[in-house]
Every structure is written in C-alpha cells, then in structure tokens.
Amino acid sequence: MRQNRRNLVKLLSLGTLFPAQTAMAFNSIMESIPVDLNQNMSNSVFTNLLDKKIEKLYKEAIVIDGLIIPRGWNEESFKALDQSGYTGFGASLASGNLKIALASLAEWQKRIKDNPDKLILATSADDFIRAKKENKTAAFLGFQNATMIEKSIDNIDTLYDAGTRWIQLTYNQRNLLGDGSTERTNSGLSDFGIEALARMNELGIMIDLSHCGRQTTNEGIEFSTSGACFNHSMCEALYKDHPRAKTDDQIKAMADKGGVIGIICLGYMIGPELGTKTTLETYVDHIDHAVKIAGIDHVGVAADFAIQGLEATGATRENWYEPRLTRFKPSYKVQWPPWIPELDKPDRYLQVAKVLDRRGYSTGDIEKILGLNWLRYFKDTLKP
C-alpha cells in the first residue's frame, strides 16, 4: 500500500514530461491497489485518484434505479436526471383505479414522446441497452399497487397494452389480491391474486412484492413462474421488526428463482437512528447483507423518492412527515428528516459505488449492483 502511494506521487510529478508512459504506469498501479482502503487514507492524492477511477467506472456503467416517484415531473427533474448518470428507472405511477392508472400511463407516454432526445419507453431489457448507447434514460412504467386491476383479469391486458411492465401485488393494506405489509392479518394471496399473478407471468409483467405482507411475499415467490422481485426493500436482519423489511429466508427464496432486491435509499427504512448511527455506510451494510444471502447477482439499488431527492422537492416536516403519521401505522417508524444526505441527491449511486469500492467489491460486482443485475432480470422476465 505505501509503495503504491509513493509510486503514484512520483507519477504525478512526471506526468507532464512523459504523459503516455505515465498513463500506462498509472493503470498498472491502479490495478494492483487493494480496494479496501479503510486504513491509511490520509493521502488525499491517493484517495482522489481512486475516486476518479470510480467516477470513470460509474460513467461507463449501466445504472438502473429500481424505483423512483416521478409525480410532479418538471424541468428540475430533467436537470436532476442529467446529473444522475441513470441509464433507466422504474417509475411508480398513480394506481387508485383503472381510469387513474391509464391516465398516468398516457401522461408518461406523452412525456416520453415529447422528449425523444432524453427518454425512451422501456418495455424490454434491450431498451435499457439502447438508452445507454444513445445517452438517454429508459423509463420503466408500473405501479405500487394492483387496485387498478379492479375486479377483472382482462384489465391486466389493458394495462400491459398501455405500457405497464411491472406491478406490485399489494401496497401496505389488503387489496383483492392479498394482504399488505401492515395489514392486521397475514393471509397471503387470494384465489383472484393467484389468477392475476398467472396472467402477469404470461404477459411478461414483472412481479414486485416490496410492500406485500409476509405470507403474500412467500406465496408471490412460490406461485410466480418467473422470478419475483423486491424492487425497493431492505434486510430484516439489519432492521428488526420493520414491516417493510424482508427476511433472510425470503431474500434467499427470491434469489433462488432469479429475482433481485433493490436496496431502498429512503433513510428511515434503513435504520432506527437516522442522522446518527444510520448513514450511507448503513445503506451499504444492507447491500453487503443482501449479497451474503442472495448472492452478488441478485442485489440492486432503488430510491423510492423523486430523482432530485426529498429535500430538493420541498419536503418539510409539515407536508411530508406529519401526513405520514396518519397514513402509516406506528410500526412503520417514520422519522424526520427521512433522508440520508449522500443519497438525497441525483448522484446517489456514485456515492454508493465509492463505498462499495472501499469495501473491496470488484469493478464487475459494482457494475452488477449499479444496474447489470436489474438488466439480467429484465431479460429473464420481460417478453421481447
């Protein structure tokens, strides 16, 4: 480590005289540097060089956010998108009933059509690849509830034809498909829920179980013929007794069928002591644990708020926190402020990549977590 540092300092002084040779030597040294840099980090030059390495990796990587909340999308959203480095994102649309859902889909279809230089409608994995090649962002449209299916399986086809490619079976409360994560009962999927799940599988709609109750989650994994996912969740082993967290058994079962867990960036979902012991490092702890249980091929990232971040969109104690005290049960453990500062801005996943690098993740594994795992999952799940 010390020898590498001395060599890098020498390179900096020689770089202007011998640029080609310096570049070759720099690459050789960088490849030999251990990525665990928790010790001896006082050399700012060395740290800056490593950050540049990760910034280059991030710029070239496919970066997919499992879930953002795009309501109120405006010019500030586009500016944040430019800063984010995103290749694509899952867009959570309004899902109250079929009419509302179709209107929300139409709104986003129009937004994509009106901004062809910035957005691509994602209906397959290939659309994310094309977005990366064309320096655009793929929008993957779906819903955090299945209430818009109403009482008709045929409505799933209508939603699919309108651009829907992912559906969360329940939100926190019970719906016609099954029980949610904060429902008093734990009854799992209904017969209608199993029928709806089967039709989603046939069409190639991604099954999300993030807000589902324990038994609904278990049965969603069991009855789905393709891998179900948790597109924005966290590890129960690290945040005990939170209704939105997934157990090790659930994470393992999900991964065994090819799914992905997107680790949620919403700070109060990550730990109970936000602002003190719950930090960016805590967030990466959840990634570490999920990788340990699911394997490196089954872990991704997900925000669960606007691409700009909550603070930038004007979230306050009065308009954000207090309403949630009435909407969510006490078991949800809502906190104020709800964000982790490094994650509450557009380049959140660059910050995550830097921590992953320091913890010893290889370049290839960082790329998997940033987006390649989602891409592989889309290839397996969505119809071409």
Q: How far apart are CA 245 and CA 354, in angstroms?
A: 25
pLDDT band at residue 139 using 50, 70 and 90 as cut-offs: very high
pLDDT band at 54 (very low <50, low <70, confident <90, very high): very high
Ordered DSSP codes for 181-207: TT-S----B-HHHHHHHHHHHHHTPEE
Report the pLDDT averaged over residues 56-75: 97
Phi, psi of 238 (to 5 degrees): -100, -15
Least confident range from 30-34, 51-55, 102-106: namely: 30-34
**Can you tell me the distance from the alpha carbon of 107 to that of 85, in angstroms, rounded to the nearest whole number?**
24
Phi-psi region of 271 (alpha: psi -120 to 50; beta: other; left: phi over 0): beta
Q: What angle do CA 162, 307, 368 make, to 5 degrees?
A: 85
Banded pLDDT at 13 (limits 50, 70, 90): very low
Query: Is a pLDDT exceeding 50 seen at residue 350?
Result: yes
User: Which residue intervals of the chain are DSSP H helices?
Assistant: 2-14, 19-32, 44-60, 75-84, 98-114, 125-133, 154-161, 191-203, 214-223, 248-256, 280-294, 322-327, 348-358, 363-367, 373-381
Q: Give pLDDT, residue 348.
A: 98
Which of 144, 158, 256, 138 is closest to 203 using CA atoms?
A: 158
- Report, as an integer, the average pLDDT of 344-356: 98
25: confidence class by pLDDT, cuts 50, 70, 90: very low
pLDDT at position 41 over 60: no
Q: How many CB atoms lie within 10 A of CB 368?
A: 24
**Domains identified in the chain and CATH numbers:** 2-51 (no CATH), 61-381 (3.20.20.140)
- Whether the per-residue pLDDT at 44 is higher than 80: the answer is no
Q: What is the largest CA-CA distance in the chain?
A: 73
Would you give the DSSP letter of residue 228?
Answer: P
Give the 3-state secondary structure of residue 301. strand
Local confidence band at 43 (pLDDT 50, 70, 90 cut-offs): low
Q: Is the pLDDT of residue 225 over 70?
A: yes
Q: What's the pLDDT at 14?
A: 37
Q: What are phi and psi of 367, to 5 degrees?
A: -65, -35
